[in-house]
Amino acid sequence: MKKLTLGEIKKIKEFRAKFPAQITVRVIRSRDYGFAAEITTFRGCYTQGDTLAELVEMINDCVRTYLDIPVKFSSYMPTYLPPVKVAYDLDVFPAPRRVDQQIKMLRISREAARN
């Protein structure tokens, strides 16, 4: 891995400071068993995923995009993960009969960055 300059380290710290400790996400299970999410913490942030794992990945990508984090610093940013119980509940959360039928609200906490 490339050694970071003092300027890059300073930038990383500035970008990390933009991330709240928790975000609120509204998750909707689609008819095709995928997921759609609105990140209510950030206005206008919507994403989707075919699986829960993909949804979590897309939520994190959406937050990094919203906060305008350069791609070269993405690996140094925090990652939001749902609690295990919430992840389990969502994974077994059945597809709705109507589009507006089942919605789950959850708060997702971030984990410290890898470096």
Q: Kindly calculate the radius of gyration of the chain based on its CA atoms and give it in whole angstroms.
A: 16
pTM of the model: 0.80
Residue 112, pLDDT above cutoff 60: no
Tell me which DSSP letter residue 50 carries.
Answer: S
Q: For residue range 60-104, what is the model confidence (pLDDT) as tens digits?
A: 999 999 999 999 999 999 999 888 877 777 766 555 554 444 455
Domain ranges across the chain? 25-109
Half-sphere CA count of 29, side-chain side, radius 13 A: 17
Sign of the dihedral defined by the CA atoms of residues 98, 107, 36, 93, in that order: negative
